[in-house]
Amino acid sequence: MQLSVKHLLGIRDLTPQDIQVILDTAIQFKEVLQRPVKKVPSLREITILNLFFENSTRTRISFELAEKRLSADTINFTTSASSVAKGETLLDTVNNILSMKVDMVVIRHSASGAPHFLAQHIPAAIVNAGDGINEHPTQGLLDAFSIREKLGGLEGKKVAIIGDIMHSRVALSNIYLLKKMGAEVTVAGPPTLIPKYMKEAFDVRVEYNLRKALEWCDVANVLRIQLERQNQVLFSSLREYNLAYGISKKLLDSLSKKIVIMHPGPINRGVELDSDAADSGQSIILQQVENGVAVRMAVLYLLSGAGGLSN
Ligand code: CP
């Protein structure tokens, strides 16, 4: 089992075959995670650097756990406690750490393209853990794994991605992946948060009416309003956003069928998703987080070139 890529920079670079291999490998690792001893020796020769220049709860913990479950040695880098605060560049920082013999680098950065830059300049395998407004490929993969697990496949499934499409790396990775695997995609939200080129560039449907999007889909993947990436006013207020685009249990119950609710986290409760919908039986949000560990184990294992999925 081999991927066509040396790094995981984005879903854009993967073939449908790559995606299939990652999702199938993740099934095996999910089985490992159900065992009393949730650990395999697959990466015991490998050292992995977790380089997080931006805040993270789920992705960071999930990668760390995936690495430990694979028996890799790990180093965790935090910007605030590093010499980046003294003016050191990204490349100098990474090269200094690599001279201590690191094999793989997991990077989250607020600048789109930071993982691609590293991949061009250093010999280690790079895994993108979210770069600016570009991509968040392991989130796209764990979302796809969760849909496949819940609905039995991806082909022909109708997925509505709802909210701040313009500033979302999760949206882009999901769109690339779902289209490559034969799913139908609608992006929904206020016109000011959906780029005008979406329909032509990505062959997705665009819907500004929330109820119509929800009536159409099998799965709604709901996104947070990313205020930290907005430098202008794109909607009147969070209260008005909730009135027009917030999803409540009452709204879900009024639809003609039961749909699946997903969210990459962090949730802004009472804005894009009300608590009674986020915590309802239709939500698979915590299953997404659980699946993230198995999916990241699969990505690290396949990129490491480790032979044989050791028991
Ligand atoms: N989904 C996601 O990327 O969450 P974090 O920002 O907490 O890692």
**CB 138 near ligand 1, within 6 Å:** no
CATH number belonging to domain 137-289: 3.40.50.1370
Q: What Å distances lie between residue 124 and 94, 101, 252, CA to CA?
A: 10, 9, 46
| Distance between CA atoms of residues 104 and 124, nearest Å | 5
Report the DSSP pairing between strands 73-78 and 125-131.
unpaired
**CB 254 near ligand 1, within 6 Å:** no
Name the DSSP letter for residue 1. -
Which amino acid is located at 176 in the chain?
Answer: Y
Each residue's pLDDT, cut to its tens digit, for the chain (311 residues) gives 789 999 999 999 999 999 999 999 999 999 999 999 999 999 999 999 999 999 999 999 999 999 999 999 999 988 776 777 788 898 998 888 888 889 999 999 999 999 999 999 999 999 999 999 999 999 999 999 999 999 999 999 999 999 999 999 999 999 999 999 999 999 999 999 999 999 999 999 999 999 999 999 999 999 998 777 766 667 778 999 999 999 999 999 999 999 999 999 999 999 999 999 999 999 999 999 999 999 999 999 999 987 655 55
**Sequence ranges of the domains in the chain:** 11-135+290-304, 137-289
Q: Which residue has the tokens 């756990």?
A: 65
Is-contact 181 62, C-beta < 8 A? no
Which amino acid is located at 30 in the chain?
Answer: K
Beta-carbon contacts of 154 under 8 Å, excluding residues fewer than 6 positions away, are 144, 147, 148, 178, 181, 182, 183
Probe target for ligand 1 pocket from 56, 76, 268, 293, with the most ligand atoms within 8 Å of CB: 56
Q: What number of helices (H) and strands (E) belong to the chain?
A: 12, 9
**CB 265 near ligand 1, within 6 Å:** yes
**CB 248 near ligand 1, within 6 Å:** no
Ligand 1 centroid, distance to 107 Cα (angstroms): 13
Q: In what order do the strands lie in the sheet with 73-78?
A: 73-78, 47-52, 104-109, 125-131
Residue 307 has a pLDDT of 61
Residue 233 has a pLDDT of 65
**CB 58 near ligand 1, within 6 Å:** yes
Probe target for ligand 1 pocket from 55, 58, 64, 226, with the most ligand atoms within 8 Å of CB: 58
| Distance between CA atoms of residues 177 and 171, nearest Å | 10
**CB 264 near ligand 1, within 6 Å:** yes
Shared fold status for 11-135+290-304 and 137-289: yes
- Residue 287, number of CB atoms within 10 A of its CB: 16
Residues in a beta bridge with 269: 273
Is-contact 211 49, C-beta < 8 A? no
Residue 295 has a pLDDT of 98
Which pTM does this prediction carry?
0.95
Does the domain made of 11-135+290-304 have the CATH classification 3.40.50.1370? yes
Ligand 1 centroid, distance to 170 Cα (angstroms): 10
Beta-carbon contacts of 82 under 8 Å, excluding residues fewer than 6 positions away, are 88, 93
Q: By alpha-carbon position, which residue is closest to atom 1 of ligand 1?
A: 264
Name the DSSP letter for residue 249. H
